[in-house]
Structure 1
Amino acid sequence: MKIAIAGTGYVGLVTGVVLAHLGHEIICMDIDADKIEKLKKGICPIFEPGLPELMAENASRLTFTTDYSAAYSDADAIFIAVGTPEKMDGSANLSYVFAVAGQIAESAKRDCIVVVKSTVPIGTNDKVEQYIKKHLKHDVNIEVVSNPEFLSQGTAVRDMLHGSRIVVGAESEEARKAMAEIYKGMNQPIVFTNRRSAEMIKYASNDFLALKISFINEIANLCEVLGADVEDVARGMGMDPRIGDKFLKAGIGYGGSCFPKDTKALHWLGNYHDHELKTIKAAIEVNENQKLRLIKKARKYYDTFEGLAIAVLGLTFKPGTDDLREAPSLTIVPILLDDGAIVKAYDPCGMERFKQKVNGSIMYCGTPEEALKDADICFILTEWPQITSLKPEVFLSMKRPIILDGRNCYKLEDMEGHDLVYESIGRRVIQKLKP
Structure 2
Amino acid sequence: MKVTIVGTGYVGLVTGACLAEIGNDVFCVDVDPRKIEILNNGGVPIHEPGLQEMLRRTRAAGRIQFSTDVKASVEHGDIQFIAVGTPPDEDGSADLQYVLAAARNIGKYSNGFKVIVDKSTVPVGTALQVGRVVAEELKARGLDGSDKHGFSVVSNPEFLKEGAAVDDFMRPDRIVIGIDDDHAGQIAREKMKRLYAPFNRNHERTLYMDVRSAEFTKYAANAMLATRISFMNDLSNLADTVGADIEAVRRGIGSDPRIGYHFLYAGCGYGGSCFPKDVQALAQTARENGHTLRILEAVEAVNDDQKEVLVNKIVRRMGEDLRGRTFAVWGLAFKPNTDDMREASSRRMIEALLKRGASVQAYDPVARDEAERVFALDLADRAEDMKRLHFVKTQQDALTNADALVIVTEWKEFKSPDFAHLKGALKAPVIFDGRNLYEPEAMAELGIDYYAIGRPHVELDSNGSRH
TM-score relative to the length of structure 2:
0.91
Kindly indicate whether residue 206 of structure 2 is the aligned counterpart of residue 190 of structure 1.
Answer: yes
1:37 equivalent in alignment to 2:43: no
Asked if the contact 2:239/2:245 (under 8 Å) is kept, the reply is yes
User: What amino acid is aligned across from residue 72 of structure 1 in structure 2?
Assistant: V
State the match for 1:378 in structure 2.
Answer: 405
Give the corresponding residue for 1:84. 86
How far apart in 2 are the matches of 1:166 and 1:337? 45
Correspondences of 1:145-164 after superposition (within 5 Å): 145-164=154-173
Task: Tell me if structure 1 keeps the 8 A contact 2:441–2:458.
Answer: no
CA contact (8 A) 1:7 1:28 kept: yes
**Counterpart secondary structure, 1:301:** helix
Q: Does residue 428 of the first structure (1) align with residue 456 of the second (2)?
A: yes
Aligned to 2:188: 175
Of 288, 294, 301, the match for 1:272:
288
Matched, 1:318 2:320: no
Letter in 2 for 1:211: T
Q: Which residue in 1 is equivalent to 2:416?
A: 389
CA distance in 2, matches of 1:369, 1:431: 26
Q: Aligned letter for 1:148?
A: P
Return the offset for 1:420. Answer: 2.1
| Contact kept in structure 2, 1:74 and 1:108, CA below 8 Å | no
The corresponding residue for 1:256 is: 272
Identify the range of structure 1 (169-178 vs 290-299) with the bigger mean alpha-carbon deviation: 169-178
Matched residue of 2:197: which SS? coil
2:365 is matched with 348
AA aligned opposite 2:48: E
SS at the partner of 1:186? helix
User: CA 1:411–1:391 in 2, change beyond 3 Å: closer, same or farther?
Assistant: farther
Which residue matches 1:132? Answer: 134
> Aligned with 2:316: secondary structure?
coil
CA distance in 2 between partners of 1:42 and 1:116 (Å): 27
Quote the residue 2:73 is aligned against.
71
Letter of the structure 2 residue corresponding to residue 378 of structure 1: L
- Report the residue type matching 2:175 in the other structure: I
| Structure 2 counterpart of 1:191, one-letter code | L
Between 1:11-20 and 1:376-385, the stretch displaced more is: 376-385
- Deviation of 1:432 after TM superposition, in Å, equals 5.6
Q: SS of the counterpart of 1:183?
A: helix
Is residue 239–residue 246 contact of structure 2 (8 Å, CA) maintained in 1?
yes
Instruction: Name which of 207, 210, 215 aligns with 2:231.
Output: 215
- Give yes or no for contact 2:3–2:76 (8 Å, CA) kept in 1: no
Task: State the partner residue of 2:112.
Answer: 110
Counterpart residue identity of residue 210, structure 2: N
- SS of structure 2 residue aligned to 1:58: helix
The equivalent of 1:298 in structure 2 is 314
User: Does structure 1 residue 281 correspond to structure 2 residue 294?
Assistant: no
Q: Give the equivalent residue in structure 2 for 1:419.
A: 447
Q: Which amino acid aligns with 1:382?
A: T
Q: Which moved more, 1:361-370 or 1:277-286?
A: 361-370
Structure 1 267/433 Cα, relative in aligned 2: closer, same or farther at 3 Å? Answer: farther
- The 3-state SS of whatever aligns with 1:132 is helix
Distance of 2:360 and 2:333 partners within structure 1? 16
Is the CA contact (8 Å cut-off) linking 2:432 and 2:450 kept in structure 1?
yes
Give the secondary structure class of the aligned counterpart of 2:445. Answer: coil
Partner Cα distance (1:277, 1:89) in 2: 15
Compute the displacement of 1:389 (Å): 2.1
Match of 1:327 in 2: 344
Q: Is the 8 A contact 1:419 1:433 kept in 2?
A: no
Q: How far apart, in 1, do the equivalents of 2:352 and 2:76 lie?
A: 53
1:399 lines up with 2:412 in the alignment: no
Contact 1:169–1:195 (8 Å) recurs in 2: yes
Where does structure 2 lack aligned partners over 5 or more consecutive residues?
Answer: 380-385, 463-467
Contact 1:270–1:276 (CA under 8 A) maintained in structure 2: yes
Say whether residues 1:229 and 2:245 are aligned partners.
yes
Does the CA contact (< 8 Å) of 1:263 and 1:280 recur in 2? yes
8 Å contact kept, 2:117–2:153: yes
From the superposition, tell whether residues 260 and 433 of structure 1 become closer, same or farther in structure 2 (CA, over 3 Å).
farther
Structure 1 residue ranges (4+ consecutive) displaced by more than 6 angstroms after TM superposition: none
Tell me the equivalent position of 1:142.
Answer: 151
**1: distance between equivalents of 2:418 and 2:250?**
25
CA distance in structure 2 between the partners assigned to 1:135 and 1:146 by the alignment: 21
SS of aligned partner of 1:257:
coil
SS in 1 for 2:310: helix
| Aligned partner of residue 300 in structure 1, secondary structure | helix
CA RMSD of aligned residues (A): 1.4
CA deviation map 1:284-306 (0-9, x unaligned): 00000000001111111222111
Counterpart CA distance in 1 for 2:454 and 2:211 is 41
Shift of residue 419, structure 1, vs aligned partner: 2.2
Q: What CA distance in whole angstroms lies between the structure 1 residues aligned with 2:365 and 2:186?
A: 48
Q: Structure 2: which amino acid aligns with 1:167?
A: V
Q: Deviations over 1:225-274 (max 9, x none)?
A: 12221111111211212111100011011000000000000011111111
Deviations 1:61-89 (A, max 9, x none): 00111011001024211000000000111
Letter in 2 for 1:9: G
Kept in 2, the 8 Å contact 1:418–1:432? The answer is: no
Q: Secondary structure at the match of 1:299?
A: helix
Aligned residue among 378, 391, 396 for 1:369: 396
What's the CA shift for 1:311? 1.0
Query: What SS class does the counterpart of residue 154 from structure 2 fall into?
Result: strand
CA change 1:354–1:299 in 2 (3 A) is same
Residues 420, 431 of structure 1: 8 Å contact kept: no
The amino acid that maps onto 2:15 is: T
Counterpart Cα distance in 2 of 1:174 and 1:106: 21
Residues in 2 aligned to 1:223 and 1:364: alpha-carbon distance in whole angstroms: 34
Q: CA deviation at 1:121?
A: 0.6
Q: Which of 125, 146, 155 in structure 2 is aligned with 1:123?
A: 125
